[in-house]
A and B are shown apart, each in its own frame.
Chain A
Amino acid sequence: MRVALFITCFNDTLFPETGRATVRILERLGHEVEFPLEQTCCGQMHFNTGYQREAIPLVRRFVEIFSPYDAVVAPSGSCVGMVRELYPLAAELAGDARLAADIEALAPKVFELSEFLVKKLGVTDVGAYYPHRVTYHATCHSLRMLEVGEAPLELLKNVRGIDLVELPEARECCGFGGTFAVKNADTSMAMLGDKIRHVLDTRAEICTAGDNSCLLHIGGGLHRQRAGVETVHLAQILATTEEDTNP
């Protein structure tokens, strides 16, 4: 199986450690990971903000670059959601039947990390060790667009040393929503306020999720409050083993 890593432009630039963790997990499970360097962005920000004509060339690039692989894995539910749910709309807008057909063939091969591990590879124990009190926020796109279900929690439950605590109202949106966080900053803040309150209620040291965009938002709020709670991508928890002295 030829596995490609789709890092996403956001992780590539701001969260390289999440990419490194993803590579580490997949290699530990015996897979050779390829990283096509031509990749940039899936076009989600443009598409969801309404700049859809501008997104079409990015959609084409993505399809061209990733179609040759058997599986494409990304540490982001939201970008995978873009490919699976919204690429067909982009093809329709472009009026391009070829593109639509290519998307139909590619979309089922594109996976969010936790669903790739649990649903595609059938692995729930990745041999991780993480001695911290952790709470998990289910991001909206992984939950409702991709329907990853319990996959992230199954993986977390099998991490050794972890003290996993349930997040109250875990299914409620954190208020990120891409450009929503800036365009509707006040509403976004009000949503974030409640999310942070729930995170603090758990007394967790770490808040994790499958999307760094949501974590940037939650973490940004926690950091501003000097709350002492860190946000860490799921991949980084799963990549950590007992050999890591400094997890």
Chain B
Amino acid sequence: MKVKTPDAFSKGKTPRFEESAKTALADTQLRRNLGKATKTIREKRKVVVEEMPDWEALREAGRSLKERTLRHLDEYLEQLEESVTRAGGHVHWARDADEANRIITSIVKSHEAEEIVKVKSIATDETKLNEHLEREGIHAFETDLAELIIQLAGETSSHILVPAIHKNRAEIRELFVRELGAEGLSDNPPDLANAARLYLRKKFLSAKVGVSGANFAAADTGTVCVVESEGNGRMCTTLPPVLVTLMGIEKVIPSWRDFEVFMQLLPRSSTAERMNPYTSFWTGVSESGDGPREFHLVLMDNGRTDVLADEIGRQTLNCIRCSACLNVCPVYERVGGHAYNSVYPGPIGAILTPQLVGIGKPGPDSLPYASSLCGACYEVCPVKINIPQVLIHLRGKVVRKKQDTGGLKSKLDPENVAMQAVAKVFSDPERFEQAQKLARIGQWPLARNGSIHRLPGRLAGWTETRDLRAVPEQSFREWWKTNRGTN
């Protein structure tokens, strides 16, 4: 259903969440695909989490490790640079997406490579690396099955872990027949995987440069880690002679020993596995030839230090991208990832995107409101990010920014006017009581038999599918005064 539209990290305006959600909600096939997929993974996760007696202690350990890292981020990053350099790697610092893309492109060009292989990396989606490379005449091949699917379809990811969650296997079969010329292919998952494997194998063997993201990097040893389930990451990080890794600065962890915590938290939370199938660790370059002979680590800020500066928002950087919050989110389950117009969808996207791109843009500003604040995300988050709290905090920032810089237009905004008026009513019990009486009188053209079937203006959204109970004859306080005295 999806064509490539600008997202929060590309140039140009993005639609507001509620507009995109409207379209997504009308797609019944999408609803079924998502409902089924998220339910399966939710239930599997529950089983493997509940069997861990110390799960809560692990979560707390994960949270506090991340918090400590963020508190001393500058020191850990410098230590990481030292360790990687000592192990024969090169470290580059990128202030923003453009700088990261330029660094990576110039490395690829210096090896005269026209094709590169990639293992799934959201950081490179954030910088739009593939598009940048394409403009420079370099083609990037995605090697993760789901990433390949959406690359062939010319779409964007809709889930941080299973990017093609919005597609079912019949749709994938059709795509492979069309794009890979795989005649007579069945829609059996192993057959589909095999078709992709045949196509990709050639690319792995011929590519001079591999590009990856990073799940973690240990500051003390300089060891970088990629976690995946198909083995394609292992090949990307070992077969090409040159490896370039793009990593957000918040991915550093203090020590090699800390993997103990994260390697337990991540697989169970993300794919609901007890142990992750392919976990690649590498420290600098390989002398023996069973890995890259040249290694570049690009450390990217791109808005992260701004997030760090916000005391409440900061916890967002704890995220280990497990995607558990997406799978339990009742909003995500119904609208899917594309409605968020960002490479980071779901609850984590709703708090990360507006912070990374900055408050004050209509599309991203609508994301903190894309939640009923049910708290299911916080309950599962392996690093205990209080997502509802951050959502509410960001809503405050959105409103304050509008009020403080929006001039007269924002003052006259109907929501703002209504909120100011209601706040005034609530500031005084007598005014409140008068308002209750007025509401009772004012509703007479709308109310029939104790309910309201159609509301005017902005509130019409309520009565599109719901009746509203009419204001009853007597408020509670009126009853109290009559029956219990004035206290």
Contact = CB atoms under 8 A, between A and B. Distances in A.
Interface of A: 7, 9, 11-17, 19-20, 23, 34-41, 43, 45-55, 57-58, 61, 85-86, 89, 93, 140-141, 143-145, 171-173, 175-192, 216-217, 219-221, 223-224
B400 A52 contact: yes
A189 B21 CA distance: 12
Contacts of A192: 465-466
A23 B485 CA distance: 14
A51 B419 contact: yes
B479 A16 contact: yes
Contact of B487 (A36, A217, A223): A36
5 contacts: A16-B475, A19-B476, A57-B427, A144-B374, A182-B458
Contacts of A183: 18, 369, 461
Contacts of A58: 423, 426-427
A25 to B, nearest CB: 15
A48 B479 contact: no
Contacts, number: 201
A43 B425 CA distance: 12
B451 to A, nearest CB: 6
A165 B471 CA distance: 30
Contacts of A51: 399, 416, 419, 423
B62 to A, nearest CB: 19
Contacts of A175: 330, 372
B151 interface: no
Nearest to B378: A144
A48 B427 contact: no
Interface stretch (B228-236, B263-271, B288-296, B388-396): B388-396
B459 to A, nearest CB: 6
Contacts of B392: 47-48, 50, 86, 89
Contact of A140 (B370, B374, B436): B374
Given A9-B426, A89-B393, A186-B18, A173 B376 contact: yes
Contact of A189 (B368, B453, B464): B464
A54 B203 CA distance: 59
A187 B395 contact: no
Interface string B431-467: 0100010010000000000010100001101101111
Given A14-B472, A89-B389, A181-B462, A48 B372 contact: no
A50 B334 contact: no
Given A20-B479, A140-B374, A50 B396 contact: yes
Contact of A12 (B371, B400, B462, B477): B477
B487 A35 contact: yes
A50 B466 contact: no
B398 interface: yes
B313 to A, nearest CB: 12
B420 A54 contact: yes
A219 B469 contact: yes
A154 to B, nearest CB: 21
Contact of A220 (B398, B468, B471): B468
